[in-house]
Structure 1
Amino acid sequence: MFWPTPQDYREAIQNPHICFQDPELQSGLPELDKLGLPRPISGSFASVYRIKCGHSEWAIRCFTNNVKDQKDRYDAISSHLSSVNLPYMVPFEYLSEGIKINGNWFPVVKMQWVEGESLLYYIQRNLHNVEILKGLANQWLKIINELHMANIAHGDLQHGNILIHRDEIILIDYDGMYVPGLNGMLSNELGHRNYQHPGRVVEHFGPYIDNFSFWVILIAILAVSVDASLWNSLGAGEAEESLLFRQKDFVSPGESRAFELLELVNDETLRSLVNCFRDVMALEVPNVPKPPDPESQVNVVHHPAASVSSVSADLATKLNTYLTAFYDKFTIKKRLAVAQSQPETLDPVDSSWVLDYLTAEARPFWPLPTYGLVLERTVSFSVITLTALATTVMYGKAPITGLASCTALGLVIEIAFLSWRYVKLPTVMEKRTTSEKIKELHGAASDLTSELNKINYIKQELQQMEENKINDLLQRQREISERVKNETEEVEKELWSQISEIAGERQTIDQEEHTELAGLLASFRKTWLEDQLKKHTISKEKIPDIDDEIKRRLRSNGIRTPADFLDINIFQSYGRKKIEKVYMILKNGGSVHIELSPSQAKALVEWKKMIERKYRPNIPQSMPPGEITALKSKFNDRKSILNNVEQTYKTRAQDLISTIKQTYSPEHDLLKREEDAARIILNNELNQFDKEIFEINKHLLGEKWELNHLSKKMDSFKDINFLKFLRKVFLFI
């Protein structure tokens, strides 16, 4: 039985109520294209149609080739998926009699329609959103481990089979899926070449077949989250049907540009992980381990085929170590970690780590109670009393001098003592310490601001210098491309001139051939007609007005058949009477006079024309093949010479163009590599500057926060001064 083509499916689905057996699908409406026909989404093994049935939408997968055990496979897959209930798997139903084509039933898969964008478009759209890429990497790690725990392998993990809907991963296309119920069978597909181990064959069919793809996708996500420029540098996207790696990178990693650029990324952990992936690539397909779960203590070797003997303990340790480091780096555990890992996107004023600098509000100064200054008052009043006594004693001896001396001495002692006691007060000491700290913080903030300005200036200068270098490299590449273009155009111009000249000669030969062929054909047709005329002898034919005597005369002059003469000429002469003579024009160009009347001559000509009319419909329209071949052979020799000359010109032009490209290619490729390396270096240096700027801003904001806090604290000391202290000592207020 024939198997339907994509066109057969498309024509049938125009009438869902006829082609489907499923009642729901019979009432559905297919999505149409601009021509009003069902719109297919074509893949390697199936065409998918979107059918809307009321509030439900279904994807109908129509197979373009016959897989004998397809039903058994889908039954086993459906049964196992139902038992594990993974949220990123889409429920489906295998319909053995799904669609009718030309009176025969063929299977389809009925699956819920899922809206989403492919992994390629999702990553490309979020290239500069590091947090989303982190979330995607974490989600991918989770799926890896859940599929492993469920003993499932998808079989063709690639961008087209991974959809993202509302930032959640969904896996589709289960044709090549492995579940325990299929153990011992062969794989019915080998997956996308840019995501699979180059050594994978159909005998590789088990829970391990996704492990290589896991690595390819995980490293790509982690790499672009560290350096988004890798996406464009490696030409990732739909055009190449790949993320960062292609099949040639797996076949020849030593010559891989992807590995070359990844090793230049300014992230030691990523470089270590990439080097570890190189070790993984050297393993046989069944021995490739899946990426380990950094949060579990499970060994990196997760399936029977990958024993400790095949995957060394060192490799297992490296895998766990590097991925754990990456996991710690990219998993968001607290807002401070996010801020430190992504300085370029943070606004220091609004950063969550400001909370680290929050302290309790400065306590207000509470004046000491009056009974707290007993010593000060006791000493002060004692000094006053002693001064008064001394003044009284001295007043009798030297009134003016004694009064002044004792008063001055007492005042000095009093002020000195109270000043000493004032500065020893805890509150005054705290005020002085706070004031000194404020001055220190002002100086530190000024230094940090100067350092920040200096780093920003250096960053701008470096960025400008590196961008100038990159622009210079781009300009040199453009100049090389322009030289290649100009020199190539010169070669092509000369080639065009030579080919035009040859085309003129070829046209002349064609015209000569056509003319000669037309002449030979005319001669051949004439000869053929003469041969037919020779079959009719005049003596045996009944010709009006031509009796036996006339036939004898004709025969005696060599005219036996219509082929022996071409036409007649009648000459008239006038004398006493009109005389008419008939001349028969022979085929050799001569003529002969025959005793015929004009009417007899005309009857003879009409007889010949009648015979010619009989044969003309059958005259050959072409020459015999042998004669045509002989004629063409003569001209083909001349054409062959021209073709050889033309090919010589073309070969020489191609060689010249190849030489031109080979001459400039090394320099252009070197400049391109220098440009890529310069971009990566610039990106790394800018990231380093951004980290330094972030740290300085963080410290600066901390200093400003503390300065603000101390300023508020100083406001609480505004009533602390020596005069108020004296009032408290002497006036008890």
Structure 2
Amino acid sequence: MNVGPVTGPQRQFPSGAKYAEALQHTQLCFQHPELVGARPELTKLGLPRAISGAFASVFSLTSAVSGRRYAIKCFTRNVPDQERRYQAISARLARLNPGELSRPWNLGFEYLTDAISVGPHRYPVLKMEWAEAVTLSSWLDHNHARPSAVDRLAERFEALTRDLDALDIAHGDLQHGNLLVASDDTLRLVDYDGMFVPELAGMSGTERGHRNYQSPMRGNDDFGAELDRFSAWVIFLSLKAIASDPGLWSRLHEPSGEFLLLTEDDFKSPGSSMRLQTLLAHSDRTVSGLADQLRSLAAQPLDVLPPLALALPKQRATATTSATANAPVPPAAGGLPSWMMTGHVSPEAAPPPPQPSDAAPDGFRTRTLLDVAAAGLCPLMVIATVIICVAGFPVSPIEAGMPGFVAVALIVFARSRRAERAELRATLSKLTGELGRLDDPVKAAEKLHKERARFDAGEAKRTAALTKAQAKLTAHYQADLKEAEKRKARKERDLDRQIDGLAEELRKSLAQALTNKQSTYVRDQLGRQLISQSPPPGIGPKLASRLAAAGIRTAADFKGYRPVQNTHYNSTGAVLVLSSGRVVDVNGIGEAKAIALDVWRKRVVASVEARQPTSLGMSERQSIEEDIARRRAQLVAWRKGVEPETEALRVKARKQKEVGLERLNRENSLAGDRARQQRREFAQRATTLQQNSVLHEALSDAVETARLRLRRLSLGCYVRFLYIAR
């Protein structure tokens, strides 16, 4: 059986259909003990089921020996440095210590060379442990409404990225399809084809990863330990956002969409991205903060992106601070929180709230005619009821109790007509209306506090961004100066080397010119030596004529001979070698005559070379020297121009810095004006809030007093007032 090379530019691999055909007989196509006789998963047609990709087909096989299930990747297309890559990845993953990992997220992965036979050749495969799990997006379809579970998964994902970062490993294609969630809600990382391990440092990447998870700055050749950083931020933001607000899954995700919450377009055009703007404006500060960080990272090179683990403590602290800031602030004296009582405009005196009229008594005042009538009639009605009941008149109970009911109704009616109750009800209605028109001071204070906190955070961020931008401009300016100096030194060094090499170039040019002159002279003289005029010994006119017919007239037409074996006559003959390198067989020219011709030519060549010129003429030498002098003058002029060019670059860099600083200062000035205006608005709102707080408290007291007075005008108080005037 032929064993083909593992890799190579001309290597051809079988198609997925050919692999499926071979896998119908695993006892024959495999030699690996775990795979010999393995049972492939079959389609309805009874053929091995294949999951086809860009350069491989994956089959599910269950080992007949161990009963374990494996994913076998069979290659359909050549991948550069395939063997080296997979062997390095396989070896590195095999050395992982489970005790050093946050959780066992890695799967068994083994690269097997010459593992499968397809036709007369054998090919490599990848043997991977089969994961009984679902993809991250499928898991979220069913679990996005469980915030605590999603948040736990986010923490486990962060721990996974921390493991990769600590090991200097990058998966290369972190996305929902390569992150599987097991039944215990733990993660499994699959598809290690594009993985970076330290042993592969210096090589280029073989893929760019899923477009909806990669930075716009990632190039085709990017390959290093930082490959996963942008993808990690994308996935972590999505999980944290869904944990905070499960409704985002249905709002921002599309059914069967190849993304979680954000797509490639959101990273490329964040300003016009509805999805990103939704996350940036989210009320949860952790979500909005992560979204803002991701927006910033999308415009940065991969090698400067921060690992997700380094930014999380700050993010968690921010979330804790946010939770503290969102807690209700207890009001100080006058109903205002204590943080508003210092550093703000002193509150003006609030107008006094309306109070219940002092004329409104705590009880009833002078009796009216209605009161007197009620007081007189009620006892009579009660007596009438008693008489009816005692005398035993033939009436129903309802008719017997009717005078008593009338007495009660009369007292209730008379009480309702009292002016004191009407006054208190009017006052209470007015106070309640005014209290309802005022905002709740505690909620208003919380709202103002949150807005001020957001404003202060934004100002701190703006100030930090200004400092960072200024430092970046300065660093860019210094880098430009440094690059200009390097360019100057490089050009001067190159020009000096060319100027210094002109002397050697002159010597070589003169020598080459002399060689060319001598070669021309020798060829010309050899072309004048006719064989027919001074023939070698044994070469008569007849042979000279045959030689001429074969193209050999002068000593310049041939350059030697070659002996040949004449098998027919069992003798040695000869063929002549023309100047073009072609050989001719001239009738009558045997080895002896060929030797005579060769000796004659060599004698002519020696004679000509003895007479060839040994030096160049003055005009010839002067032409070459003048050309070298022109080049020297040109190089010297170029070298003198290096410094002005460098100075122009310095001026350009300085101008760019000044323009940038001027722009930053102008933007900062405008932002400062807006910030000062916003602070004035906050101060005015704080003053108004304090006034409203005092008014709210006074109105609340007045309402409570009015209600207390109204309760004192009860039915019992009225009956007591009718009969004992108290």
Give the TM-score of the pair, scaled to structure 2: 0.41
Give the TM-score of the pair, scaled to structure 1: 0.40
